[in-house]
Structure 1
């Protein structure tokens, strides 16, 4: 017998952490590359440094994003990259979104 509390609607495949629009945009940007500089992600997603920092911290805590700090010459840099778990969750989240859109059409 099917558990009535465990539905089959594709929305159950959405990830709550990743679903927030800014976090989803960050992950989508990172999914296209091996890693990206903080400033590139900030400019692509069109948010401030502080907003990006907060959202990246949430994604990092969830295990979806790895943050690496270093230098280019004497200038400090921060790079962001999806973890394997982040990539897998992004793929599953996108599949759920497509299934929801397909069911609505």
Structure 2
């Protein structure tokens, strides 16, 4: 289990949901994340830019069916930060229940 560390960047609801989705897959296409979150392209791009600048998310352009698509995945640093944030949230919940 990672050492607990609350992460304000990841904690924002949309970014937390992005990290949660990416933690369960090798990668997810931009449009799939947008559809699941039901937000605009520009809003999703803003959140992804913040995660990318922190080196938490890797972006790769791939061509599929003749169209360029953006493929997103958590970096090892992003996975570690997400898991540490989850551990911090668990500590908060567990201390409230004690």
Asked if Structure 1 and Structure 2 have the same fold, meaning a TM-score greater than 0.5 normalized by the shorter chain, the answer is yes
1:43 match: 35
Deviations 1:67-91 (A, max 9, x none): 0012102111000000000000111
CA RMSD of aligned residues (A): 1.1
Q: Which residue in the other structure is 2:69 paired with?
A: 77
* Unmatched 5+ stretches in structure 2: none
Runs of 4+, deviation exceeding 3 Å: none
1:12-64 residue CA offsets vs partner (Å, 9 max, x unmatched): 82111111111111111100100000011111122111111010000000000
Pick 1 or 2: higher relative contact order, CA cutoff 8 A, min separation 6. 2
Largest Rg, 1 or 2: 1
| Corresponding residue pairs, total | 94
**TM-score, normalised to structure 1's length?**
0.85
Stretches of structure 1 that go unaligned for 5 or more consecutive residues are 1-11
- For normalisation by structure 2, the TM-score amounts to 0.91
